[in-house]
Amino acid sequence: MMVGVIGAGNWGKNLVRTFYCLGRLAGVVEVKPATRQWLAATYPGLPLYSDYGDLLASDIAAVAIATPAATHYQVAREALLAGKDVFVEKPLALSRAEAEELVALAESKNRILMVGHLLLYQPAVQWLKRYLESGVIGPVAFLTQERLKLGRVRPVENVLWSFGVHDIAVLLYLVGQKPQQVKASGRCFLQKEIEDDVYLHLKFPRGVAAHLHVSWLWPEQRRLLTIVGSKAMLVYDEVQQRLTLHKKRVTPDLQSEDAGSEVVFQGGGEPLLLECRHFLDRVADRRPPLSDGRGALDVIAVLEEAEKQLKEDGAWTGRIILSTNQPASMPGPGWAKGQGFGTSAT
């Protein structure tokens, strides 16, 4: 089974290289002449197209879509209507309604629809999922994810849509549930109505909470996931691909215990290679992918609700907690009662 790649830009070129190395690359669609020239020189004899309609009209059975996020829905829809199995980079679409349509279309056509939630294929994340299910750290209280750096600023989607999609997918995967409550706050600084810094809070059934902080306006790169359980705590350093178990807890009588720490997993692997192989395997056996359309739909639902709150409340405005006659160092009684959590400034 061969795959055609639509889009060979900043990330698409990685898909081109990976499917080529797997011996499954049938052709590439790229609108920029200069990029097509580079592809022709790098992959001699590879069929190249300037219009994805030409590739969809061919007998290629599957496509991988790495076009700009705003085009994912349209390109994926046309590919499914053409009878192709589809791998589409995150996000699946920019609205829940569009994502639902794609999922329903794939199911009606009996086509594979897989979304590029790359971190789910990271060996450390797979190991972490099994480790949490083993109960070593006890019931999970909360998870906190940080994805921060001085990064590439997008002119269309905000930092949550750009940086946070992978992290939301991982949080939902590790918890194994859909959140019952979503709260978000953000800050527009560089561009009007495009948040550069966002805090997202999720509340799940059975009391688990998750928190995400994403920013492309940050002095240091930080990609950390911290998980606090009743018996111990875990820190996943994505940069180092290292999982550290902290044997720390607070006892029922509120005493702190610290029995040290140890590295319990170290190793990277090649998640993109694993992800592409997974797509090929699912096309072959027709089983649902790990990152299928329905899982991606849950991620879009979280993003859409967060976006709604950011736009309705105004980035970083939220609800005023302190009255004008209270000093900033003396929070009022509402804060003491925990009423400050939500869409107010973080």
Any idea what the CATH number is for the domain that residue 146 is in? 3.30.360.10
For 89-98, how does the pLDDT look when each residue is reduced to its tens digit (9 = 90+)? 999 999 999 9
Nearest to 208 by CA among 129, 146, 140: 140
Same domain, 148 and 200: yes
SS3 221: coil
Is 173 a residue whose pLDDT tops 80? yes
- Structural domain of 260: 120-270+303-310
Last residue of a domain, one of 58, 76, 111: 111
Give the CATH number for residue 56. 3.40.50.720
Same domain, 97 and 148: no
The per-residue DSSP string of 271-298 comes to HHHHHHHHHHHHHHH-PPPTTBHHHHHH
Is 320 a residue whose pLDDT tops 60? no
Residues 6+ apart with CB under 8 A from 280: 1, 3, 22, 24
Last residue of a domain, one of 83, 111, 139: 111
The band of 314, judged by pLDDT with boundaries at 50, 70 and 90, is low
- Residues, the chain: 346
- The CA distance from 322 to 68, in Å, is 42
**Number of helices and strands in the chain (H, E):** 10, 14
Is 113 a residue whose pLDDT tops 60? yes
| Phi, psi (degrees; rounded to nearest 5) at 113 | -125, 110
- The CA distance from 305 to 178, in Å, is 13
Least confident of 18-32, 144-158, 242-256, 327-341: 327-341
Same domain, 97 and 152: no
Please check whether residue 250 lies inside any domain of the structure: yes
For residue 170, what is the enclosing H or E element?
helix 159-175
Last residue of a domain, one of 85, 111, 137: 111
pLDDT, position 330: 34
- The CA distance from 185 to 227, in Å, is 22
- The CA distance from 212 to 203, in Å, is 12
Same domain, 52 and 194: no
Is 328 a residue whose pLDDT tops 80? no
Tally the C-alpha atoms within 13 A of residue 126's C-alpha that lie toward its C-beta: 15
Please check whether residue 287 lies inside any domain of the structure: no
**What's the domain count of the chain?**
2
Same domain, 129 and 105: no
DSSP 131: H
Same domain, 177 and 251: yes
| Phi, psi (degrees; rounded to nearest 5) at 345 | -60, 140
Please check whether residue 327 lies inside any domain of the structure: no
User: Which residues are registered as beta bridge partners of 245?
Assistant: 234, 262
Is 307 a residue whose pLDDT tops 50? yes
Same domain, 170 and 212: yes
Same domain, 184 and 84: no
pLDDT, position 290: 97
Output the CA–CA distances (angstroms, integers) from residue 186 to 90, 307, 333, in the order listed.
Answer: 21, 10, 25
User: Structure pTM?
Assistant: 0.86
Please check whether residue 329 lies inside any domain of the structure: no
Same domain, 140 and 215: yes
- The CA distance from 54 to 72, in Å, is 17
Q: What is the mean pLDDT of the chain?
A: 90
Q: Are 116 and 87 in contact (CB under 8 A)?
A: yes
Same domain, 180 and 237: yes
DSSP 189: -
Is 326 a residue whose pLDDT tops 70? no
Same domain, 266 and 139: yes
Same domain, 153 and 258: yes
The band of 313, judged by pLDDT with boundaries at 50, 70 and 90, is low
